[in-house]
Structure 1
């Protein structure tokens, strides 16, 4: 699957923070639709899993569901027209339109694959996993994965007070750690934007409109974490990133999928803090400041 302009598309769900890593990075690298196109599934998961609808069609094959594309990929790989994918169907999906196969469906892998598309990037040199910093990136990513990215969901799905307290305690600790770090530097590992920042951003931007209430995180970046808020705004205000934040679909994805937590299917009106309020920007890579 060699990098090539226009050959690949990303199937994503606006609400999914894992898919948001890829879509946000495409914007940060300024890889436009001529380079890699993004196709969104419908925001709500149905009994058939991720689906396409009138507002979110599949323009390539007219597939009714994402599972149909997983089936199509398996059929191309095996040569068996009756083959059916038996495993999970998840987003994001990096899709090869030439072979009609799934290249990868793991966000961590895809964001590193995007470095291969440097020739078509409007912003050059944005390497989120530079060799000299990989040990620090790995450590920080591992911490924020367990204490933030996964812990918010664990807080929301907890069925006992102890499990909830343990999960939300991790979230609060991660927020406190990030707030302290960002009080001293523009990004979580200093003056260079890395995978750590991307992974933390996609969770923090969902905190106030979703996790704070639906999953009982009970911390607000708008009112309690000024440095986290500035951090989110710095990323949101990068060219092209605001267009990836489909907040209405984000709220529908979370609030309408959890019947136990939200049996009346009520979607709150508040979209979180105004992320367009100007802030002091910071270069994503040190070289951009010169």
Structure 2
């Protein structure tokens, strides 16, 4: 994948760094300011930026589950007219995420850049770190507001409400403690768990991650007994954050990341939850299996050295 070091791109850096036990290590997000309705500070005192129509731009990958979260909430809140989107191509090559057509990109409409790392160095010419999606970009100040998906979806939940966003609260006050608890386990063992299994460099690290993953899928399946949603009786961000992993699971994580104890189709309640979210207005338009499969099977040569993309599964 590569990374920036002092503002210079180094393409030889590993896609999936691991520690001395073979465990995958995910880097923290770098930019953590907060978009609010009036420019007030974020929930933990982060610098606030006032939401405005067409001031901000969202850079995403259709392949990436973290970026996919932001697209789902953008669709559910009806933010398409307020917040334009640019999509990078699915293949991460020597320059990482790319806008170039030969890598499946559609071009950068703002600055004509070829690669996403140029957006990062526009924001910080001395940037050191990974270049990831999603990116919430401020066109007025030419800077990255935030590149942490879990925070961006909470911003989208309320920041644009006064500007014509669709009604819907995916992080209701009365359910927040429970949502946070579910999110915490799902992130550690499912959302990131598939990566910990897939990028493990030692057998023990792989088995630890894989077993924790399927223990949590069993827990989630039981949790959905007699209910449609994970928390309360309404769609919340807990469902959305899980959905973007579920929709990729049978197509890529089951085979590519060796998460093959079971498929999501083998969990009737989890599969039904996935289908419920997929049927919500605008959500199906955010799912692109060509991008998803191409990205995983062609961008991780240490996992799939032949870079052959499988033709299946027939359905997810």
Normalising by structure 1, what TM-score? 0.87
Q: Given that residues 175 and 232 in structure 2 are in contact (C-alpha distance below 8 angstroms), is that contact kept between their aligned partners in structure 1?
A: no
- Is 1:40 the counterpart of 2:87? The answer is yes
User: Which runs of no fewer than 5 residues in structure 1 stay unpaired?
Assistant: 75-82, 275-290
> 1:263–1:84: structure 2 CA closer, same or farther, 3 Å change rule?
same
Assess if the C-alpha contact under 8 Å between 2:89 and 2:99 holds in 1: yes
Q: CA deviation at 1:190?
A: 2.6
| Separation in 2, partners of 1:129, 1:116 | 13
- Tell whether the 8 Å contact from 2:56 to 2:139 is kept in structure 1 after alignment: yes
CA distance in 1, matches of 2:222, 2:199: 28
The correspondence for 2:138, drawn from 96, 100, 104, is 96
Shift of 1:184: 1.6
Partner in structure 2 of residue 230 of structure 1 = 272
Residues 275-290 of structure 1: pairs in structure 2 closer than 5 A: none
Moved more, 19-28 or 155-164: 155-164
Higher helix share: 1
Q: 3-state SS of the aligned residue for 1:192?
A: coil
Structure 2 equivalent of residue 17 of structure 1? 65
Partner of 1:247: 289
Question: Does 2:111 correspond to 1:68?
Answer: no
**Deviations 1:16-63 (CA, angstroms, capped at 9, x unpaired):** 11111101111111222x211111011111211211112420011101
CA distance in 1, matches of 2:166, 2:60: 22
Question: Paired residue for 1:283?
Answer: none
Write out per-residue CA displacement over residues 106-138 of structure 1, whole angstroms, 9 at most, x where no aligned residue: 1111111111111345530x2222222111111
Q: In the alignment, is the contact (CA less than 8 A) between 1:151 and 1:170 conserved in 2? A: yes
SS of the counterpart of 1:95?
strand
Name which of 186, 194, 202 aligns with 1:152.
194
Offset of residue 11 of structure 1:
0.2
Q: Could you tell me how far 1:165 is from its partner in structure 2?
A: 1.5
Q: Deviations over 1:132-182 (max 9, x none)?
A: 211111111111111101111111112232222111111111111111122
Partners of 1:7 and 1:98 within 8 A in 2: yes
Q: Secondary structure at the match of 1:207?
A: helix
**TM-fit CA distance, 1:262:** 1.2
Q: Distance in 1 between matches of 2:55 and 2:165?
A: 18
Tell me the matched-pair count: 263
2-structure distance, mates of 1:184, 1:165: 31
Compared with structure 1, are the counterparts of its residues 50 and 29 closer, same or farther at alpha carbon in structure 2 (3 Å cutoff)?
same
Equivalent residue number for residue 106 of structure 2: 56
Deviates more, 1:203-212 or 1:90-99: 90-99
Alpha-carbon separation, structure 1, partners of 2:314 and 2:56: 33
In structure 1, distance between residues paired with 2:207 and 2:253: 15
Summarize the Cα distance change of 1:192–1:272 in structure 2 as closer, same or farther, 3 Å threshold: farther
The structural deviation recorded for 1:271 is 4.7
* 1:117 and 2:166 matched: no
CA contact (8 A) 1:247 1:271 kept: no
RMSD of Structure 2 on Structure 1 (CA): 1.5
| Secondary structure, counterpart of 2:84 in structure 1 | strand
* CA displacement 1:85-124 (0-9 Å, x = unmatched): 2222111000111222111111111111111111345530
Report Cα offsets for 1:220-275 as digits up to 9, x if no partner.
Answer: 112x111111111111111111111011001111111121221111111125635x
Contact 1:209 1:272 survives alignment (8 Å): no
